Chains A and B, each alone.
Chain A
Amino acid sequence: MQTVLLFLITGLFAGFMLRRLPRLLHRADQAASLAVYLLLFFLGLAAGLQPEILSAIGPTGFYALILSLAATAGSILLVWPLYPLLFKTQKKSPDQKIR
């Protein structure tokens, strides 16, 4: 957790220092998009190498899946009404890309 925050804060600081160089920042954005796929590939790899992963096929895995769907759905449902409550004044940012 400390390492996670360290990298994030270092990045924030570097970004702040480079704020006058939009082209470089844009490159960082592009690199981040690519790195997402890289991370997902490695996460899949790590999951596949866990000895427990094979128990995902069977009742244990099925219960786990149901519970994770429930947790995800439950948290989304309860958070839904918060958006107008907490972020009423916020507009959609123009640079939001949905590709």
Chain B
Amino acid sequence: MSSFKIIAAFFAGLGCALLLPFFQKLPAETLSSMALYLLLFLVGVSIGGRRETLQMLRGIRPSLLLLPLMVASGSILAPGLVAALFLPLSFQEGAAVGAGMGYYSLSSILITKISGETLGLIALLSNIFREILALTMTPLLVRYCGRLSGIAAGGATAMDTTLPVIVRFTGKEFAIIAVFSGLVLTLCTPVLVTAILSYGA
């Protein structure tokens, strides 16, 4: 039922912003950043207080790079194919949107610069949706689609926004791995988006 509660919290916020004038005066961006920092601190405390954490840190090995590699491949290839086959967009455009990995601020700015407003807006919305999907569906995904699915769905956001939810439903022993994967993807996103859109251009 936690998926439902998480979705409800998000849509309560969305509804308040759209319908109630009082909430439109609130600095929502600042508030959400502050809530995120508080949450990351608390997640840090709860991971730092465990004996297993040191073992986990020692467990970081080169083979773990496979995780962000596969997340990136899936995030680029699947939207590319879907765009080419079912949408009035090219493989390249779909792939570039997917390469945003949920990092919507940066990817939408980059894509707007290179490919214009329309694709930039699609990139912004799509990567916001991806973050929302990861936040709200992780409890269900972890249960039915494998233990790593939360980390995969989160993409670049697995190191910050979606980390608390991932830790809670995937298990604390995966916290370091989620941060690692998210960090690698965050660093790769600008490179990948630019590379995909400049290919053949």
Contacts and interface: CB of A to CB of B under 8 A. Distances in A.
Contacts of B153: 72, 75-76
Contacts of A10: 41, 44
Interface in B1-38: 1-2, 5-6, 9-18, 23-24, 26, 28-29, 31-32, 35-38
Contacts of A29: 42, 46
Q: Which bracket fits the contact residues of B?
A: 35 or more
Contact of B28 (A38, A45, A68): A45
Contacts of B79: 67-68, 70-71, 74
17 contacts: A11-B40, A25-B46, A31-B42, A45-B13, A45-B23, A48-B13, A48-B28, A60-B121, A60-B122, A65-B126, A67-B126, A68-B79, A72-B130, A80-B149, A83-B147, A93-B173, A96-B171
Interface of B: 1-2, 5-6, 9-18, 23-24, 26, 28-29, 31-32, 35-53, 63-64, 66-67, 70-79, 81-83, 86-87, 89, 94, 97-98, 101, 118, 121-130, 132-137, 139, 141, 143, 145-149, 151-153, 155, 159-161, 163-165, 168-169, 171-173, 179, 186
